[in-house]
Each structure stands twice: as C-alpha cells, then as structure tokens.
Amino acid sequence: MKLLVTGGAGYVGSVCAAHLLEAGHEVVVLDDLSTGHRDAVPSGATFVEAELGAGADEVLGAGGFDGVLHFAARSLVGESVTEPEKYWSGNVVASFRLLEAIRRHAVPRLVFSSTAATYGEPDQVPIPESAPTRPTNPYGASKLAIDHMITSYATAHGLAATSLRYFNVAGAHVAGDTHLGERHTVETHLIPLVLQVASGTRESISIFGDDWPTPDGTCVRDYIHVDDLADAHLLALQHSTAGDHAVYNLGSGHGFSVLEVVETCRSVTGHPIPAVVAPRRAGDPAVLVAAGHRAAEQLGWKPSRTALARIVADAWEFARGR
Ligand code: UFG
C-alpha cells in the first residue's frame, strides 16, 4: 500500500513507519518537527516537513494513497490542562483538516492513534472498549472528539477507519542499526525518566504516591511494547471495513506497579536507581489496564513482547545509544 504517516518523526510514528517499510509498504512521512526528530524518520520513507492540515492536502492531492496512519498530536496531559488551546487547535482542528483532505482525495483507510485517556477514571478494570468515555483532561477530550469525528466520516463518507486506544507505550524498536525510541524534549513518562537516572543525567526518580489502593501502594499501568503496538497498526490496515469505525484497546491486559518498573530497571541496568516518594500527581488514576479481547478476536493481534524486563531492556538499549 501507499501510506501517509503523520507524525512519523515522533516515537510511535517512526517505529510504525519502520514496520510498514519492513512489510513492503510505500511510506510518506508528514511531520512539522515541532516535537519529532528528522533523524527518526526511517531512511526508506519520503519525508515532507509541513504543518498537518495544509501539508496533508498537498501530499494526498498527489493521488494514489491507500491509507493514512495518523500519529501527529500533542500529548502532554499537564500541558493540556494549562494550555488547552494547543490541544483543540493542534489535535482537533488539525485532525479535522486531515479528515477533509482524506475525503477530498478519496483515501479509503485511516488508522488513528487514540488513547486510554479517552476513558478517564475507570469504573472497572480491565477496561473494555464499551467502558464510558469520560476524559479527565483536555488531552483525552481532544482525542475523544477526533474519535467522534472519525465515526461520522466513516458513516457518511464510507471511510474504513480504526482507532487504536493505546495504554502505556514503552520500549524501543531495536533492529540492527535502527534504534528508534522515546526522545521527548519534555519527558514525563516513567520508564525513560527512570533510565535517565541509570544513565546519570538525573539523580533520582520521584514515585508519585505510595498510598494508592494497589498491592504495593503505587500506581499500576499496562505497559505495551512499541513493536507490538506497530504490529496492531499493520493488522488494522488489513482488517478495516468501508463505512465502519472500529475501536480497539491496545494493552497486554497485565499491570505493573511503579515500584515493579523501578525494580526491573535496576536489574536490567545494574544501577541502584535511588527513588524518592513524592506527592500524588494530579489526574493519575490508580490502575489502568486494558481488556484486550477485541483486538485479539477481530484483528488477530497478540502482543508477544510483554515481559517488563524485555520492554525495559529495549528502552535501555536505545537510551544507551544516544
Ligand atoms: N510516575 C512516577 N514518577 C514519574 C513519572 C511517572 O511515579 O516521574 C508514575 C505516574 O504517576 C503513573 C505511572 O508512573 O502512575 C506512569 O506514568 P506515565 O507518565 O509514564 O504514564 P501515564 O500513565 O500517566 O500516561 C499514559 C500515557 C498518556 C495517557 C495516559 C492515560 O502516556 O498519553 O496514560 O491516562 F494520556
């Protein structure tokens, strides 16, 4: 297939672009490099540096595209609370313009990066796709708004659409000389922050609360290897149906606590990694774990890199090479 990958210079987008190329697809990456990195774009892809709305119309206008994988987004929960305008503009308005370009140029397929943050604080864990969507921050609300737009475009215009709701994406794509991983200017995610301590650029890791209603008192999350996530995108491209918008949770169905993550990082890196208990972070749910049956049953997706030690080892391999 000939595919447009928006945000293909970012963490998940670049890894998925690499998987698409390895599977023999033709890939055009569109990225404004506001948070992405030019050197993360896999060398087999055509790169277009442009803002999403206008850029997508121009790229798709060349014709012949079989699908779009839409990763480009702002994704900092805290920033979305203090500067929501960036999320309504950068996520919702830009995605609307992308959808209009898709419609105008009759592109048949879309795979969208949605998020567990669309559910907000869950009533039940593991979280099925049928759970109520009550996002607790503008980031999650912006992604949910895009999901709603996509449903209406699938129904009205026959788009074959898939939203993949990621839980906690982690790890790195380590294949020969290609090392693609998490490299945010503002890093907020647990595993890369812990690995910064192991590599000596941070003194200690703060544990945001040890009095949560969980077995060891720290928050539990469903960490999913970025290569497993990429596999799901390829399956979604194959299984989508015109006029239908399918939604899948992507997680392993197994949760690990913050303390388990820190302990695993200690054993993988051999570094003592000092940890300091800090106050709870606003907006953190205690436990987020995916009920992943739908992706297994309908896409045939089965994550295979689920061991936390494997996820951390790949992230560490990437971090050490930087
Ligand atoms: N944590 C710490 N210390 C840190 C950083 C994180 O204790 O320095 C804890 C958090 O409190 C949380 C866990 O580690 O319990 C994981 O935190 P991350 O920031 O790595 O990930 P989140 O679970 O907050 O965020 C993920 C996605 C978001 C998405 C959110 C949905 O990365 O994009 O799930 O709630 F919005």
CATH no., domain 2-169+224-250: 3.40.50.720
State the CATH architecture for 172-222+253-321: Alpha-Beta Complex (3.90)
Closest atom of ligand 1 to 218 CA is 15
What is the reported pLDDT for 184? 87
Q: What is the 3-state secondary structure (H, E, C) of the chain?
A: CEEEEECCCCHHHHHHHHHHHHCCCEEEEEECCCCCCHHHCCCCCEEEECCHHHHHHHHHHCCCCCEEEECCCCCCHHHHHHCHHHHHHHHHHHHHHHHHHHHHCCCCEEEEEEEHHHCCCCCCCCECCCCCCCCCCHHHHHHHHHHHHHHHHHHHHCCEEEEEEECEEECCEEECCEEECCCCCCCCCHHHHHHHHHCCCCCCEEEECCCCCCCCCCCEECEEEHHHHHHHHHHHHHHCCCCCEEEEEECCCCCEEHHHHHHHHHHHHCCCCCEEEECCCCCCCCEECECCHHHHHHHCCCCCCCCHHHHHHHHHHHHHCC
Average per-residue pLDDT in the chain? 97
Per-residue pLDDT of 46-75, as tens digits, reads: 999 999 989 999 999 999 999 999 999 999
Write down the catalytic residue from 11, 87, 119, 139.
Answer: 139
Q: Is the pTM of this model over 0.95?
A: yes
What is the reported pLDDT for 229? 98
Determine the 3-state secondary structure of 28 from DSSP. strand
pLDDT mean for each 10 residues of the chain (322 residues): 98 98 98 97 98 96 98 95 97 98 98 98 96 96 98 98 98 94 93 97 98 97 98 98 98 97 98 98 93 95 97 97 84
The structural domains of the chain, with segments of one domain joined by +, span: 2-169+224-250, 172-222+253-321
Closest atom of ligand 1 to 193 CA is 8
Ligand 1 binding site (Cβ under 6 Å of any ligand atom) = 75, 77, 115-117, 139, 168, 188-190, 193, 205-208, 219, 221, 258, 281, 284, 288
CA of 192 to the centre of ligand 1 (A): 11
ipTM for the predicted complex comes to: 0.95
Supply the DSSP symbol for 117.
G
